[in-house]
Structure 1
């Protein structure tokens, strides 16, 4: 279960790296605007905010990946703590999105599914 949790946590990190690309690098492109449901004017007006938010997503992914590597290197306690420090806020942000914007439920589920599964599998793998 631990290995499965780490694999799913890695998928969460990869997804959040992709979100970083969209928010920080391609925010005003037609494709990214379609994903986030923004107009060109809205994307231009929120470009700096999205740029910053993208880096939050990237940093969460990086912390998660460092934790995964640490667990596989034999530093289970430290690695698990880092993985939880990465996927925990990913999951919390998805819950906040779901609660605050019901019309964004699909995005919240997409953002939160891998972290939620990772948390369940990691807890099971560490306690069983």
Structure 2
């Protein structure tokens, strides 16, 4: 069982909630990877990102690269969760915080660079931010 410094049961429940939220953040970023790197020019991906066929064709290489950034963030978060549940809590938590923190930072960049992408940025940020909040709360509970 994953526990906090105090070893309290309440803290461990909050940690588990944070780790589950990190898994959800990772799953969302794998989905984004699939859309950007594998399906970018398909009607489904174009509908999600609001691009035309011509725009998708012109930005395919950029989206492919960006998709892999999302995959790498997901790997950090998911690997961190696996390690935390395996008892390697310091390394696991560090990876979760790095992955989820980067997801939040990337969403803030999207939000501040293009207000029309507010919904996408908040969606991208939600699970990761909640995971970070839960993990931070687990230290004080």
Q: What's the TM-score, normalizing by structure 2?
A: 0.89
**2:3: which partner in 1?**
none
Alignment size in residue pairs: 128
Structure 1, unaligned runs of 5 or more: none
Q: 2:33 aligns with which of 20, 30, 39?
A: 20
**1:64: which partner in 2?**
77
Structure 2, unaligned runs of 5 or more: 1-13
Q: What's the TM-score, normalizing by structure 1?
A: 0.97
**1:119: which partner in 2?**
132
CA distance in 1, matches of 2:136, 2:88: 16
CA distance in 1, matches of 2:103, 2:78: 13
For residue 98 of structure 1, report the CA deviation from its aligned partner.
0.9
Q: RMSD across aligned C-alpha pairs, in angstroms? A: 0.8
Max Rg structure: 2
